[in-house]
Amino acid sequence: MTKQRLTIVKIGGKIIDDPLRLDVFLESFSTLSGPRILIHGGGKVASDLAAKLGVDQRMYNGRRITDIESLKIVTMVYAGLINKQIVAKLQVLGQNAIGLSGADFNLLTAIKRSPGVVDYGYVGDFHKGSAHTENLAYLLKKGIPVFCSIVHDGKGHLLNVNADTLAAELAASLSGLFETHLYYCFEKKGVLMQYDDDNSVIPQLNQQRYNELKIYNAVKHGMIPKLENAFTALNGGATSVCIIQDNALIQSVKNPKNHGTTISLY
Amino acid sequence: MTKQRLTIVKIGGKIIDDPLRLDVFLESFSTLSGPRILIHGGGKVASDLAAKLGVDQRMYNGRRITDIESLKIVTMVYAGLINKQIVAKLQVLGQNAIGLSGADFNLLTAIKRSPGVVDYGYVGDFHKGSAHTENLAYLLKKGIPVFCSIVHDGKGHLLNVNADTLAAELAASLSGLFETHLYYCFEKKGVLMQYDDDNSVIPQLNQQRYNELKIYNAVKHGMIPKLENAFTALNGGATSVCIIQDNALIQSVKNPKNHGTTISLY
């Protein structure tokens, strides 16, 4: 039997930070048909709140170290403020959105990362069986799951995860039930050959090419984790992954080859 | 056909504020059988956060005036922090909890209260058809809805509502599909004849007796809105309403007459 197409879209923090841009994005998202999942990043609201509260934001290799106070802040901002604002906006657009963390319906469990060179605190990593795909499929029959990047460990604790990684995990896990297509929407036009040249989009990128570019330091500026997540999704069974600008979503769904960067294994 | 019993439990802010007491309560809640809904109040976390952020908390007749900054705070604290912490704890207890605001699945819509003597700001009132009972029944088949007191206006805005009122609205609306039993759990042993005497619990209270007690100023200290909500639930079709101490929930479900205050119309 042919699997039904499932469109999984992740929007980055810079789109969340710009209310007008977010509205435009949500309008285009709502014109797509068929089952869909939206995943949102955090933006700078959490950092702003941490600064106001005098909670130090420590980073390591571009990743936030999530101590207990930071966990409270991201839970409030991501699962509370941003998530419910997006859900309310989608409802106006006739989209039956339901805002979710991984704890809700036990949808996504992660394991707290063990301290290594650095202790990342309340940060989670996914494992085999992280996603409760049956419960997620049940929600997909009635509406549009909207995920923030807070999950739980199944032992009563919340954990912060990377939103790109969460999107990849869903695209991979749900590939058993659906033909999953993952779109990473952000402020750039795709993966760029030169970071400051918007016209240097790499249209297609496979694993081998990516490895070569990495050796020559041609891929950087936070793009490496996003690409690693893209390959994780594909290796896990996702049908396609595109890295595109937020305003290119509709066109990319119609014709991925002409927009942003299409990621493939081979 | 006999309707299935639905147990609707609201826990007050003083229970939320005490982590150990909350854990004990959630354990007893999880031993109940059949479909259930949990509604939680806010506690003092929101006020504490507002104070830290320098956001003035104005009250009128014991009700919070919710300006835009206060709305952001309660959305973060109620829909984010408290809701997801409760959901994660219930999951450990084998309860398939799903945390919800009224915006999610369009479950609860309210109308922003028009400014009168005082402008309450982003505060909502329910109306006929506020609850999307079909979507709620769908979720009840798979798990336990856990509501915070944030809803939406269906026009893209979030609104703060009283958690007791939300519980009453659910008990009334869902009475078309279920035999609904509502339990208001709080720190006192029930409705007290003398506020400072824990042994002065009024075992049963009907509308006429309540009106008499009000005339003699025997009911006060925030109990009046709770009782008004109880009568709203009963008038709307709820089968029973009990006002009890949090630790009496299980006993009250088994035998309401022996615990706290049972509210009835006649």
User: Closest partner residue to B142 among A87, A99, A138, by Cβ?
Assistant: A138
Q: What three-state secondary structure class fits B156? A: coil
The verdict on ipTM greater than 0.85 is yes
Asked if B143 is an interface residue toward chain A (Cβ–Cβ < 8 A), one would say yes
Is B130 an 8 Å CB contact of chain A?
A: no
CA atoms of A95 and A145, how far apart (whole Å) = 10
Among B73, B87, B139, pick the best mutation site for testing chain A contact (most A Cβ within 10 A): B87
pLDDT score of B256: 81
Q: How far is CA A215 from the centre of its chain?
A: 26
Q: Is the pLDDT of residue A1 over 80?
A: no
- Does B112 reach chain A within 8 Å, measured CB to CB? no
User: H/E element holding B38?
Assistant: strand B36-40
- Taking only the tens place, the pLDDT of each residue in B170-192 is 999 999 999 999 999 999 999 99
What's the token pair of residue A204?
């297609």
Q: What is the pLDDT of residues A126-176, one digit of tens each?
A: 998 899 999 999 999 999 999 999 999 999 999 999 999 999 999 999 999
Burial bucket for residue A255 (CB in 10 Å: 0-12, 13-18, 19+): exposed
Closest of A56, A29, A53, A51 to residue A40, by C-alpha: A29
Q: How confident is the model at residue A103 (pLDDT cuts 50, 70, 90)?
A: very high
Residues ≥6 apart with Cβ < 8 Å to B88 = A103, A152, A156, A157, A158
Cβ contacts (< 8 Å) between B154 and chain A: which residues? 91-92
What is the per-residue pLDDT across B25-54, written as a single tens digit (0 to 9) for each? 999 999 999 999 999 988 899 999 999 999
pLDDT at B71 over 70: yes
Full residue range of the structural domain in which residue A251 is found: 4-264
CB < 8 Å to A72, chain B: 81
The partner residue sitting opposite A72, judged by closest CB among B81, B83, B101, is B81
Confidence check: pLDDT of A98 > 70: yes
- A92/B156 CB distance under 8 A: yes
Instruction: Indicate the pTM of the whole model.
Output: 0.97
Query: Quick check: B8 and B39 in contact, CB under 8 A?
Result: yes
Decide which of A257 and B233 is more confident.
Answer: B233
Q: Is some CB atom of chain B closer than 8 A to the CB atom of A150?
A: yes
Query: What is the longest distance spanned by two Cα atoms in chain B?
Result: 55
In this predicted structure, what is the pLDDT of residue A214?
87
| Alpha helices, DSSP H, located in chain A | 13-16, 19-31, 45-53, 68-74, 83-92, 133-140, 163-173, 207-215, 223-235, 249-254
Q: Any idea what the CATH number is for the domain that residue B141 is in?
A: 3.40.1160.10
| Dist. CA A196–CA B202, nearest whole Å | 73
How much is the pLDDT for A6? 98
> How close does chain B come to A190, measured CA to CA in Å?
31
| B138 closest CB neighbour out of A97, A103, A142 | A142
Please name the residue of chain B whose CA is at the shortest distance from the CA of residue A46. B76
- Whether residue A59 is predicted with pLDDT greater than 80 in this model: the reply is yes
Query: How far is A8 from A147, CA to CA, in rounded Å?
Result: 11
Q: Alpha helices of chain B — where are they, by DSSP H?
A: 13-16, 19-30, 45-53, 68-74, 83-92, 133-140, 163-173, 207-215, 223-235, 249-254
Residue B152 to chain A, least CA–CA distance (Å) = 6
For B48, the closest chain A residue by CA position comes to A53
Q: pLDDT tens digits, residue range A76-95?
A: 999 999 999 999 999 999 99
What are residue A116's DSSP bridge partners?
Answer: none
The reported pLDDT for the residue numbered A161 is: 96
- Between the alpha carbon of residue A62 and those of residues A58, A65, A160, A197, A227, the distances in Å are 9, 9, 15, 22, 15
What would the mean pLDDT of B205-218 be, rounded to a whole number?
Answer: 89
* Residue A221 pLDDT: 65
pLDDT band with cut points at 50, 70 and 90 for residue A215: confident
Dist CA B75 CA B79 (whole Å): 5
pLDDT of residue A173: 98
> Is 80 exceeded by the pLDDT of residue A124?
yes
Q: Which range has the top average pLDDT, A115-119, A213-217, B176-180, B218-222?
A: B176-180
Residue B258 is predicted with a pLDDT of 84
A21 contact B CB<8A: no
Question: Does A92 contact B138 at a Cβ distance shorter than 8 Å?
Answer: no
**pLDDT tier at A64, thresholds 50, 70, 90:** confident
CB contact under 8 A, B91 and A84: no
d(CA A64, CA A120): 7
Is B94 an 8 Å CB contact of chain A? no
How far B53 CA lies from chain A's nearest CA (Å)?
7
The two tokens of residue A154 are 């199944």
Check CB contact of B158 with chain A, cutoff 8 Å.
yes
User: Closest by alpha carbon to B148, among B49, B56, B10, B242?
Assistant: B10
Residue of B nearest to A140 (CA): B105
* Average model confidence (pLDDT) across chain A: 94
The total domain count for chain A is: 1
- Percent over 90 (pLDDT), chain A: 84
Is residue A63 very low, low, confident or very high in pLDDT (cuts 50, 70, 90)?
confident
Is A142's CB within 8 Å of B105's CB? yes
- Which candidate, A178, A191, A181, places its Cα nearest to that of A223? A191
A83 contacts on B by Cβ (under 8 Å) = 79-80
